[in-house]
Structure 1
């Protein structure tokens, strides 16, 4: 009903969040992507709208879904133009090479994919690397491969050269005096930011239990420059620009990086090649 180029333009726009990024990925231009998008929207009688930070299509989507399935099978069988969502921190790892036919999103520190598993289920993406907070409870239709586990450390962020001891003293003082703030990296998905905020709230409650009954959540009690922390894996720390040190007196959380594809596609040669490649490069 629509051409491969037309549907690809819309799906790239949905995945990457803008016609500009879709054009960069497709080696095209924004006007071409927009024109193709409009043809697909008109053909299926659907709308493209932005909800918070996401672009979504609305309307009767059955025919669109069937068309996507046809195009996805063609990508898999011909092993070309296959789409893999990779988080920014793994793209910064040296030498991440994908097998024939696969292409990942461009490495941008200001980009995150909020719901990659949904895009896999909708046949927009062919595979994704997802965080634990992005994996749904209902997963019978998914193949989930755990590639590796990493510690999520409480990380002290700073701009100047300071010893570990000085940083820890500043951290404790800031925690006790209400000058501690959580830094949320722009490459972190929304669900990861929400989990980090939960951990940060727990940290503040532990430091001052009286805050649990406060209606004005944790106001600053002492004026001055805030001290920033973040909850990051080693790869995430390496991908962010600030100087950082791990707070050693903290029991880290556990983070698992997982590859997700539709279960019905696990035996496709292109998917098998991707699994083997990522296991060799990331699965350690």
Structure 2
């Protein structure tokens, strides 16, 4: 091991989460330590850390760094540090909050299927919760375990005025501001949403009910695309609108095939399935997958 676990976690944490504050919180390091470690680690491998189009990236050959990442990942699987779970859009929901025992969870930036896969292959993260419509094509280097299927739902704040509307329709919902989804970030999900007419509208129509993103007393008028796994049921930040979209998404656990039979991965899958089974008591439309 050329550098310490803390040193490389500061650098790879920034490449994963893209914010020093989040790196410090996730890896339990002081923010000044994070910044110092990032620069020192990059120099050790002859690399430069720079922002490119708003995203932190490394400049230089990463061949030696990638070898070091293999060593550090083996150390994590040996229990020397928590493993890393890429949580996508479920970071604040049942599957990632709190993180499963022995794991740290985070959501990459920039978001997207290709970025998550890149982080997994580079061994910056050890497992990835992928939307079911966006699972990669069959690849012998990957282990893909579908966990569940469930309806796509339009989610809003608990105080949103749409929750009190009778005869709710997509036309009425489209008058409100929608959370934007970057085109091409999740191509399978994008295709699904467009097929069912729920891809976020390009522009918010004029509506006296919702002239701004936020209403009185700070209530958010924004409409989010998600599922019942998006937030915690005890204190939900978002709740589903009572509208059936007839669109189905889901969650798959993806790891490198080399790690598929490791006890930590088997324990993670078991824990996630237990969480989903428990959630079915509240949300029976969650369908468990083998």
**Aligned residue in 2 for 1:33:** 34
Any stretches of 5+ residues in structure 2 without a counterpart?
211-220, 278-287
Q: Which has the higher helix share?
A: 1
Of 133-142 and 193-202, more deviation after overlay is shown by: 193-202
Question: Do the aligned partners of residues 121 and 273 (structure 1) sit closer, same or farther apart at CA in structure 2, a change above 3 Å counting?
Answer: same
TM-score (norm 2): 0.72
Q: Does the CA contact (< 8 Å) of 2:128 and 2:253 recur in 1? A: yes
1:13-24 to structure 2, matched below 5 A, reads 13-24=14-25
Residue 245 in structure 1 maps to residue 247 in structure 2: no
**Aligned residue in 2 for 1:263:** 257
Measure, in 1, the Cα distance between the counterparts of 2:183 and 2:18.
Answer: 13
Q: CA deviation at 1:21?
A: 1.0
TM-score (norm 1): 0.73
Measure, in 2, the Cα distance between the counterparts of 1:195 and 1:88.
Answer: 12
1:136-183 Cα offsets, whole Å, 9 max, x none, are 336321111111101113567773376452533xx54x48xxx63551
Of 78-87 and 3-12, more deviation after overlay is shown by: 78-87
Measure, in 1, the Cα distance between the counterparts of 2:86 and 2:183.
Answer: 12
Aligned-partner SS, 2:124: coil
Aligned-partner SS, 1:258: strand
Question: Do the aligned partners of residues 70 and 59 (structure 1) sit closer, same or farther apart at CA in structure 2, a change above 3 Å counting?
Answer: same
Measure, in 2, the Cα distance between the counterparts of 1:156 and 1:24.
Answer: 27
RMSD: 3.9
Measure, in 2, the Cα distance between the counterparts of 1:272 and 1:80.
Answer: 18
Question: Do the aligned partners of residues 11 and 133 (structure 1) sit closer, same or farther apart at CA in structure 2, a change above 3 Å counting?
Answer: farther
Any stretches of 5+ residues in structure 1 without a counterpart?
206-216
Residue 184 in structure 1 maps to residue 186 in structure 2: no
Residue 46 in structure 1 maps to residue 47 in structure 2: yes
Question: Do the aligned partners of residues 35 and 264 (structure 1) sit closer, same or farther apart at CA in structure 2, a change above 3 Å counting?
Answer: same
Q: Does the CA contact (< 8 Å) of 1:79 and 1:270 recur in 2? A: no
